[in-house]
């Protein structure tokens, strides 16, 4: 399959706003794609090269791409930068430059989907001395042989900016239509495999290939999510009676896979953090009485002096740290609270009711707190008074709140399906993506500040909804600047644009309508609550949630 055929579909998807028509376009593409190319086509259509569970990226920045365009087109760096200021997109710059090259077609070799995919895989694996030059050469080779319009999408793929609004729902519907497979079967298969590329391959062979799939150890899946309820009584009424109540710990979600003595730890983002948490590995080996298991849990920090739980922000540095691990184990210890079991000794438990899964949690977790792993504190009741008392106990102990779960519910990876709720007392915060910033002034000249915040739009893009300049200490600004500097894609004066990578939890006074920002809304006095290292950009709050919270303000008597 030639790459320009794929590009034709990309252009159609980008121009189409209807999700139904996007699914139809994609279904047509999948139905005519050779089986051996289904995985690359699925990955590349979603702007990736690898399946989600691998959590790997190409890791190419603007500077690399600019150098590759210069090498491939013969333009000067100044010319490329000037065109970038005009076009605002390096993909468009490459398209313009290739269009103006009269001799381009004489030397071009037709790109295939397989070659483009394999080249990007090789680029992602380049590391160490000479890797930067090798990346530039590889990207330049793709540009040199690309048709002008194809170059646009090659560069957007390289930069991780190929956003055409193809989310899981559209991909599910497309696979279902292309291969005449029930949508629910497709969705359930992806819940197990976390890989729509593999799901497409199996679906092409017939629906029977997608049934009775097992979870695979050391292939993390998306965790089940829970919407927020305002009151305990509301959550109990909606979740079903009786319901299971659990403490909501202020830690980070950990999905832990165990096979014999081998243990791997994954975050909600599917990052592998096994190296950073050898203490959790030891606790799992000692405290999980199972040959094979996948557990869902929360890992929370402990103050070594008092033994009390500490907020997530206190231990978030352990997730990112690559050195002094043993020292951090002593100074920033953690313990893991298990609340679900997804796989046990060769058997998937996803379809099993929570009540049965939790009984198995109690069976396999050794009740020894000194080992650093324990069963999450919980209560099963239909009594609103008991539920409210449990909630108050959680607050008195300094926790975020509680979880309220339907005892008959199966486990739905990656979904907020109304089978459980979280109840928290504070004003609703938002998880937003940083997409821009300004360099500071005065003593803050060397720091990024005034961070532009965005929600996830209907098409998967990011829509700005305000700027955050408060709630940050000097340490916060230093940390944010060091983390975000590699993500700067372009700069104009003091303003910079950033790759949408970092998620932050933000408090605010209120939400207002605003024509200034693409979301149509603006946060009034947004302030940093914490950096969410455990969230991916696509996990951030959506425009729909922003609208919902905006509407709620009026029911509380706040002015529109």
As a whole number of angstroms, the distance between CA 359 and CA 157 comes to: 46
Q: Name the range with the highest mean pLDDT among 295-299, 363-367, 478-482.
A: 295-299
SS3 399: coil
Cβ within 8 Å of residue 410, ≥6 positions away: 350, 351, 352, 353, 354, 419
CA 512 vs CA 228, 467, 553: distances in Å: 22, 13, 10
Beta carbons of 204 and 62 less than 8 angstroms apart: no
The pLDDT assigned to 143 comes to: 95
Q: Which residue has the higher pLDDT, 109 or 67?
A: 67
Pairing relation of β-strands 228-229 and 420-423? parallel
As a whole number of angstroms, the distance between CA 264 and CA 257 comes to: 5
Q: Which of 104-118, 215-229, 268-282, 514-528 has the lowest mean pLDDT?
A: 104-118
Q: Name the range with the highest mean pLDDT among 158-172, 286-300, 527-541.
A: 286-300
Average pLDDT, stretch 379-383?
96
Asked if the model's pLDDT at residue 370 lies above 80, the reply is: no
225-271 residue pLDDT tens: 898 888 999 999 999 889 999 999 888 999 999 999 999 999 988 89
The pLDDT assigned to 183 comes to: 95
The pLDDT assigned to 106 comes to: 55
The pLDDT assigned to 427 comes to: 66
Categorize the per-residue pLDDT at 101 as very low, low, confident or very high, splitting at 50, 70 and 90: confident
CA 9 vs CA 6, 51, 279: distances in Å: 5, 20, 48
As a whole number of angstroms, the distance between CA 500 and CA 147 comes to: 28
Q: Which of 139-153, 197-211, 467-481 has the lowest mean pLDDT?
A: 467-481
Which domains are seen in the chain, by residue range?
Answer: 3-159 (1.10.3260.10), 228-423 (3.30.470.30), 430-555 (2.40.50.140)
Q: How big is the chain, counted in residues?
A: 560
Is 547 designated active site? no
Q: Which residue has the higher pLDDT, 428 or 109?
A: 109
Categorize the per-residue pLDDT at 119 as very low, low, confident or very high, splitting at 50, 70 and 90: very high
Q: Which residue has the higher pLDDT, 59 or 44?
A: 44
Longest dimension (CA), the chain: 79
Q: Cα 160 from chain centroid?
A: 13
The pLDDT assigned to 105 comes to: 56
Q: What is the dihedral of CA 385, 391, 392, 394, to 10 degrees?
A: 150
Asked if the model's pLDDT at residue 446 lies above 90, the reply is: no
Cβ within 8 Å of residue 361, ≥6 positions away: 295, 338, 339, 340, 341, 375
Query: What's the whole-number average pLDDT of the chain?
Result: 90
Q: Which residue has the higher pLDDT, 407 or 307?
A: 407
The pLDDT assigned to 100 comes to: 80
N-terminal to C-terminal alpha carbon distance within the chain = 54
Asked if the model's pLDDT at residue 289 lies above 90, the reply is: yes
Asked if the model's pLDDT at residue 459 lies above 90, the reply is: no
Tokens of 14: 């980008």
Categorize the per-residue pLDDT at 163 as very low, low, confident or very high, splitting at 50, 70 and 90: confident
As a whole number of angstroms, the distance between CA 281 and CA 558 comes to: 49
Task: Please state, as a whole number, how many other Cβ atoms lie within 10 Å of the Cβ of residue 275.
Answer: 11
Q: What percent of the chain has pLDDT over 70?
A: 97
The pLDDT assigned to 103 comes to: 54
**Active-site entry in 248, 422, 424, 467:** 248
The pLDDT assigned to 556 comes to: 42
CA 466 vs CA 75, 157, 289, 345, 408: distances in Å: 37, 28, 49, 49, 41
As a whole number of angstroms, the distance between CA 126 and CA 136 comes to: 11
Categorize the per-residue pLDDT at 300 as very low, low, confident or very high, splitting at 50, 70 and 90: very high
Q: Is the preceding peptide bond at 362 cis, omega within 30 degrees of 0?
A: no
Beta carbons of 116 and 81 less than 8 angstroms apart: no
Q: Cα 442 from chain centroid?
A: 35
Average pLDDT, stretch 425-438?
87
Categorize the per-residue pLDDT at 220 as very low, low, confident or very high, splitting at 50, 70 and 90: very high
The pLDDT assigned to 144 comes to: 93
3-13 residue pLDDT tens: 999 999 999 99
Q: Name the range with the highest mean pLDDT among 169-178, 218-227, 445-454.
A: 169-178
Asked if the model's pLDDT at residue 421 lies above 80, the reply is: yes
Asked if the model's pLDDT at residue 549 lies above 90, the reply is: no
The pLDDT assigned to 22 comes to: 94
194-203 residue pLDDT tens: 999 999 999 9
Task: Please state, as a whole number, how many other Cβ atoms lie within 10 Å of the Cβ of residue 417.
Answer: 14
Tokens of 404: 């309220």
The pLDDT assigned to 107 comes to: 61
Q: Name the range with the highest mean pLDDT among 24-38, 387-401, 485-499, 530-544.
A: 24-38
> DSSP alpha helices (H): ranges in 376-501?
384-396, 474-484
pTM, 2 dp = 0.80
Average pLDDT, stretch 386-397?
93
CA 155 vs CA 117, 188, 481: distances in Å: 13, 33, 26
Tokens of 312: 């997530």
Cβ within 8 Å of residue 88, ≥6 positions away: none
Categorize the per-residue pLDDT at 162 as very low, low, confident or very high, splitting at 50, 70 and 90: confident
Categorize the per-residue pLDDT at 557 as very low, low, confident or very high, splitting at 50, 70 and 90: very low
Tokens of 406: 């339907």
Report, in angstroms and rounded to the nearest whole number, the Rg of the chain calculated over CA atoms: 25
């Amino acid at each position: 399959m030639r790459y320009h055929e794929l590009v034709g579909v990309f252009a159609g998807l980008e121009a189409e706003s209807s999700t139904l028509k996007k699914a139809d376009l994609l279904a047509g593409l999948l139905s005519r794609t050779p089986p051996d190319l289904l995985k690359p086509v699925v990955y590349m259509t979603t702007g990736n090269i690898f399946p989600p569970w691998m959590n790997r990226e190409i890791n190419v920045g603007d500077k690399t791409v600019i150098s590759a365009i210069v090498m491939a087109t013969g333009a000067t760096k100044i010319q490329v930068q000037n065109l970038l200021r005009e076009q605002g997109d390096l993909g468009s710059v490459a398209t313009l430059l290739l269009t103006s090259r009269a001799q381009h077609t004489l030397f071009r070799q037709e790109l295939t989907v397989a070659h483009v995919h394999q080249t990007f895989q090789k680029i992602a694996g380049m590391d160490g001395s000479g890797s930067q030059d090798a990346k530039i050469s590889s990207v330049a080779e793709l540009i040199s042989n690309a048709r002008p319009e194809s170059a646009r999408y090659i560069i957007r793929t390289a930069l991780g900016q190929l956003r055409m609004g193809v989310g899981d729902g559209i991909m599910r519907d497309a696979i279902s239509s292309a291969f005449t497979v029930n949508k629910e079967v497709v969705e359930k298969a992806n819940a197990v495999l976390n890989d729509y590329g593999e799901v497409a391959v199996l679906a092409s062979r017939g629906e029977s290939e997608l049934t009775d799939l097992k979870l695979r150890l050391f292939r993390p899946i998306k965790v089940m999510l829970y919407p927020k309820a305002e009151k305990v009584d509301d959550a109990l009424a909606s979740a079903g009676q009786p319901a299971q109540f659990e403490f909501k710990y202020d830690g980070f979600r950990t999905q832990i896979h165990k096979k014999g003595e081998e243990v791997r730890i994954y975050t909600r983002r599917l990052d592998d953090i096994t190296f950073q948490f050898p203490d959790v590995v030891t606790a799992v080996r000692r405290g999980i009485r199972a040959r094979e298991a996948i557990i869902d849990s929360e890992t929370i920090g402990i103050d070594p002096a008092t033994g009390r739980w500490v907020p997530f922000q206190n231990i978030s540095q352990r997730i990112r740290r690559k050195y002094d691990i043993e020292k951090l184990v002593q100074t920033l210890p953690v313990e893991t609270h298990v609340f679900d079991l997804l796989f046990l000794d060769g058997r998937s438990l996803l379809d099993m009711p929570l009540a049965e899964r939790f009984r198995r949690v109690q069976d396999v977790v050794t009740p020894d707190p000194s080992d650093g792993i324990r069963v999450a504190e919980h209560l099963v009741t239909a009594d609103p008074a008991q539920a409210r008392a449990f909630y108050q106990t959680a607050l008195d102990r300094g926790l975020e709140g509680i979880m309220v779960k339907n005892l008959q519910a199966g486990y739905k990876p990656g979904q907020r399906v109304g089978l459980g709720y979280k109840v928290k007392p504070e004003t609703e915060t938002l998880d937003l993506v940083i997409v821009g910033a300004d360099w500071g002034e005065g003593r803050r000249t060397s720091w990024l500040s005034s961070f532009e915040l965005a929600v996830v739009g209907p098409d998967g893009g990011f829509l700005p909804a305000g700027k955050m300049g408060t709630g940050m200490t000097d340490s916060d600004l230093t940390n944010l600047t060091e983390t975000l500097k590699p993500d700067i894609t372009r700069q104009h004066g003091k303003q910079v644009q950033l790759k949408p990578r970092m998620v932050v939890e933000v408090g605010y006074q209120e939400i207002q309508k605003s024509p200034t920002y693409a979301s149509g809304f603006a946060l009034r006095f947004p302030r940093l609550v914490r950096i969410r290292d455990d969230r991916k950009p696509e996990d951030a709050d959506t425009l729909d949630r922003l609208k919902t919270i905006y509407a709620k303000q009026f029911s509380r008597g706040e002015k529109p």
